[in-house]
Amino acid sequence: MNEPLYFEVKPPAVEKLAFEARLSDNADTWPREVYDELLKQNPFLGVYDISPIMTEVNGDRGTGIGYFQVTNKSATAALGPGGNAMRAIQGVKTIKVPIVIKDSKLCPLDIMMVDQPGAEGKAYPLNERRVREAMHRPQLFDAVKKTPGDVSIVDQMYPPTARQRGLQAGQVVDAPQTKISSLQPQFLLEAIAPTILQGDLEKFASELENDDQLTAALTHNEATLPALQFLGGVETVTAEDVEKLASAHRVPNVIQVSRDGERYLLKMAKSDEFDPDVIEADRPTMAEMAGEDMVEAADANGAKTVTTDPVVRDKLEDDEVSVVERFGQYKVKTSDGKELLGWVFPVVLDFDGTALTMTLFTNGSNSAVQSQIAGSLVGKGANIIRGKPEGYGFFYRVTASGSVIAFIPTEITGKMADEGGEGYMAKTMMDEPVTIRFAPGLREIARTGEGEVTLPTDVRWAPLADAVPLLEDPSTFAKVAALKDINNTVRIISDRTTWSFQGGAGLNKVAHRWREGLTGENAMFMACCLGMDEVTAARALVKAANDGSHEVRGCRPIGLRQEKLASAREHARELWDALPPRHILLKEAAGLQDLSTVDHILSIGFLNPENVRHFIKHLPKLDDSSSRLAELLGAVRMGLADPPEDSVKSAMERLEEVIEGLQKLVHRSTMEKSSSDRRKAAIRRLLRSG
């Protein structure tokens, strides 16, 4: 027997998930039988008006084609007979559920076609959520007139940016090329690559190793091969790696530079994760790490300590408080009365040089972008927190006069490199895309092309952390009460040469070397960790030295890094429980030919708490892939040879599970934020009324 010269690689069989309903031999009864089967498979459709329409029937061959027309019952009754024209005018929605009969067997009724303007004939999986969304009629509410005091449910549930942009702000565009590029992330797999856990990738690889036919099908498929090659080069992380990364990215709220001869020490700590880092360096290195101003202060006084968010009150209302009009380090207040210390940038430029009516605040832990900010000047130094351009933040430049100019807040979306050199792809807070490059010797910002700017090399980057609302009116400083535990009292004991700290929430957990028999500089560092600013801490230490002891009320509770890590682990476990189910869908992906759909199908096997935000950003694209799979499933049932029906159905249903789970997470997060915002608003109203 002659062997074939070529062989065809077919995707491996997927466990059969679909079920077919056997119909009677009498084709005249099929409409009633398929109707009963529709309600049996999808009982939630019982509240709608359903009309089975058979377009082609051949009882002898046992074949038939048609669809169910599904409409709201109330809308059908209101419009009456012959109301199709009115139906369109009134915005009454209908969906169609395809009917395919082969060998007197009814194919599963699990897809639907949307019959709406702009989306006629678009397919989706048939489930209760999809039907409810398709049947929604916003026209029913057009006649309800809003009074000025009305607030819609959407307004309550979503912040302004979400209402304006929706989830579309995070979507990506399918790339026409088959290569996954590291310069312009187009795929979900690439976005989540830094968070892929080692155990998940091992399960992925195990399925390939145990199934040669599956491996052959994936490597011979032009749509799946790039994804496999990309995953083969991914450096995975373990849970321990994630914890180390989180610890490395914690932002200290107390920094101290001290000098001992030619040696400089940098101490950094975060009060709620107390485990100070101590770094020894020479003067040039320390100036690069902490800033020239900090090093000069250490040269002059032996040590310089800075805290970003003091909580111990020191009569801020008696200081000179005004609307900030020049750059500097300021004490400011949040709308709920918390005092913060940080840098305020009253001059903000767009990338075309236009002055914007906004003011920026940042201290590394908190930030604000407002029309104006009220505060009390405490310093003019330009030793601002620096960082590498990534995430959300802003570029700034120190002028020759010592002032600082900031540029519009920007989100860095990726790096790029071409014949013009290296740069960054970004999007301003106004949603305008921009390419940013740097040029040596350039003195001013320059527009070098459409949507492209070039900055001088002395321009720096500062991240914008958690946003907080700050007071804008100086007159409100003395009226807003500080909402904190003023009973958290710390006692400072001194013999004029050393200082010790007693009492205070969490202080007893701190190692003795950080709270007993401290030198002056270490006592200053600990006092700032307890929530005092440098001036308040100096007064308290002098008072303790003169009187033997001194009590400071309203200090910040101290937390340990181990406690924060344990809490983060518990939160991660809760988030794991709330995540949608994960599926490794290699067999399902093997028969698909669309790059974007393959990317999404393979990505859901690596979903975890560290990358769930990427999946949420990609929800619109995941939804498109679900629609494409529904269309493909319909085509397969109508006669398309490949891919196998069960493979497509499995991929569609698993992806739909993930989409629904992600939407529940978004809804829960939005509701929690809405509840928190309402509580804060109630507190502000109470304070104003008081």
The residue among 555, 549, 612, 605 whose CA lies nearest residue 578 is: 612
pLDDT at position 3, please?
A: 44
- Percent of the chain at pLDDT exceeding 70: 77
Q: Which residue has the tokens 């308290």?
A: 540
Q: State phi, psi for 466 to the nearest 5 degrees.
A: -55, 130
The residue among 185, 94, 199 whose CA lies nearest residue 614 is: 185
**Amino acid at position 419, single letter:** E
Helix (H, G, I), strand (E, B) or coil at 280: strand
Domain residue ranges of the chain, discontinuous segments joined by +: 21-141, 157-243+571-687, 316-476
pLDDT at position 246, please?
A: 54
CB of 610 closer than 8 Å to CB of 594: no
Here the contacts of 394-399 (C-beta below 8 Å, separation 24 or greater) are 394/345, 394/348, 394/360, 394/461, 394/462, 394/464, 395/436, 395/455, 395/459, 395/460, 395/461, 396/345, 396/459, 396/460, 396/461, 396/462, 397/455, 397/456, 397/458, 397/459, 397/460, 398/458, 398/460
pLDDT, one tens digit per residue, over 114-172 is 866 555 678 999 998 888 888 864 443 333 333 333 333 223 333 333 333 332 322 33
pLDDT, one tens digit per residue, over 403-449 is 788 999 999 988 887 776 788 999 998 888 899 988 887 888 888 87
Max CA pair span of the chain: 107
Q: State phi, psi for 121 to the nearest 5 degrees.
A: 80, 5
The residue among 267, 238, 268, 311 whose CA lies nearest residue 557 is: 311
pLDDT at position 245, please?
A: 56
DSSP letters along 136-174, please?
A: --GGGGTTSPPPTT---HHHHHS-HHHHHHGGGGG----
Structure pTM? 0.51
Half-sphere exposure of 296 (CA within 13 A, CB side): 6
Q: Which residue has the tokens 């518990």?
A: 570
**Amino acid at position 78, single letter:** A
Low-confidence ranges of the chain (pLDDT < 70): 1-19, 74-92, 115-120, 136-186, 239-250, 313-319, 381-383, 420, 477-487, 568-569, 571-572, 668-690
